[in-house]
Amino acid sequence: MAHNCIVTLVVCVVIVNLSSFGEGDQKLGASFIFGDSLVDAGNNNYLPTLSKANIKPNGIDFTASGGNPTGRYTNGRTIGDIIGEQLGQPNYAMPFLAPNTSGKAILDGVNYASGGGGIMNATGRIFVNRLSMDIQVDYFNITRKQIDKLLGASQARDYIMKKSIFSITIGANDFLNNYLLPVLSVGARISETPDAFVNDLLSNLRGQLTRLYQLDARKFIIGNVGPIGCIPYQKTINRLNEDECVELPNKLALQYNARLKDLLTELNENLPGATFVHANVYDLVMELIRNYDKYGFTTASRACCGNGGQFAGIIPCGPTSTMCSDRSKHVFWDPYHPSEAANIIIAKQLIAGDPKYVSPMPIGRLRDL
């Protein structure tokens, strides 16, 4: 399975630019995006990896590239792209590994996300290469030093602390491409109970978020793990009916999500000046899957682009895949990832700020803090 991540719609949330502060050229803040293939904007193009999306027809509706693939795992924009636009960001955050991500370009933000990446370093090793969250934070440390050189230490610190938003969309692969892999291969299930594995995830994530805080990050959006048992891949390989989801992956996601919420409460209390916003992707995506027709979709189970089985969920999207006639009518673009049409609905909900999906505040308010 060469694609990745997962779907989890984990929402990305990305984010955004911020209201002006100070004088000078840099009136808008930066969007720093961390995560997996839900928000990868092309980092995996520069890695020798089995998880790539820089092949057609991926990106067919991405107008910024003229419909050519960019390495985004969807037909158009990611949730991060859409939220950035809505909040006034002039340019998409560029992939850290792209050669032209340098100089003043980094002041709009940088995307470190990587298809197949997870909280744990072992996650996604079936793809050979990917950037784990630890490596993504290491790369932000490099960017952080570059911003010091561009703006000077004092202004750089203000720029990062007051105006920049850090969005993290990660965790789905830690289940799909680690814990839930067949026991005889490389999954952690051989040695750990679900409780112990979730403990490890939260402990690692706490360390990663604390490192970002020590590098002056203050405004965070963290997406929980979506209903990974409902993606076309899982439905297809488990031979489910259209309205069914695989129980174990969703149960694990909910177990992790409950603990993630507690972690963010803890960090809000213990890291002075930081604000951690929780994006409840699980419920948001489940709403879309259960009531897809209400949102103008004709299916929430069949991939638009893919091959194999009842839901086109086995073989990832590529040049030989079958493709649906109306991409706007499918919740899922491929066996793992949402379509741009679904991403738009998710992004708008996160910006609108319904407390059941975004707490303790909507993204726009976080931007203006």
**Is there a domain that residue 24 lies in?**
no
**Is there a domain that residue 106 lies in?**
yes
What is the C-alpha separation between 66 and 72, in angstroms, rounded? 14
| Residue 330 is a catalytic residue | no
| Residue 109, H or E segment | strand 109-111
**Is there a domain that residue 124 lies in?**
yes
| Residue 216 is a catalytic residue | no
**Is there a domain that residue 38 lies in?**
yes
Q: pLDDT by residue (tens digit) across 322-362? A: 999 999 999 999 999 999 999 999 999 998 889 999 999 99
Active-site residue, from 36, 81, 108, 334: 334
Q: Give residue 369's pLDDT.
A: 87
Q: What is the mean pLDDT of residues 119-135?
A: 96
Q: Give residue 234's pLDDT.
A: 95
**Is there a domain that residue 261 lies in?**
yes
What is the C-alpha separation between 153 and 131, in angstroms, rounded? 28
Q: pLDDT by residue (tens digit) across 152-162? A: 999 999 999 99
CATH of residue 343: 3.40.50.1110
Q: Give residue 185's pLDDT.
A: 53
Full residue range of the structural domain in which residue 187 is found: 31-368
| Residue 34, H or E segment | strand 31-35
What is the C-alpha separation between 248 and 233, in angstroms, rounded? 14
What is the C-alpha separation between 243 and 299, in angstroms, rounded? 10
**Is there a domain that residue 23 lies in?**
no
Q: Give residue 21's pLDDT.
A: 30
Assign 18 a pLDDT band (cuts: 50, 70, 90).
Answer: very low
Q: What is the mean pLDDT of residues 306-335?
A: 94
Active-site residue, from 31, 108, 337, 339: 337
What is the C-alpha separation between 38 and 115, in angstroms, rounded? 8
Q: Give residue 83's pLDDT.
A: 86
Active-site residue, from 37, 132, 164, 301: 37
Q: Does residue 27 have a pLDDT over 60?
A: no
Q: Does residue 143 have a pLDDT over 50?
A: yes
Query: Residue 151 in contact with residue 202, Cβ under 8 Å?
Result: no
Assign 8 a pLDDT band (cuts: 50, 70, 90).
Answer: very low
**Is there a domain that residue 22 lies in?**
no
Please classify residue 325 by burial: count the beta carbons closer than 10 Å to its beta carbon, then call 0-12 exposed, 13-18 middle and 19+ buried: exposed
User: Higher confidence at residue 74 or residue 316?
Assistant: 74
**Is there a domain that residue 10 lies in?**
no
Query: Residue 250 in contact with residue 334, Cβ under 8 Å?
Result: no
pTM above 0.75, yes or no: yes
Classify the C-alpha dihedral 42-314-67-10 as positive or negative: negative
| Residue 3 is a catalytic residue | no
- Take residue 207 and report the two structure tokens written for it: 């360390």
How many structural domains is the chain composed of?
Answer: 1
Query: Residue 174 in contact with residue 116, Cβ under 8 Å?
Result: no
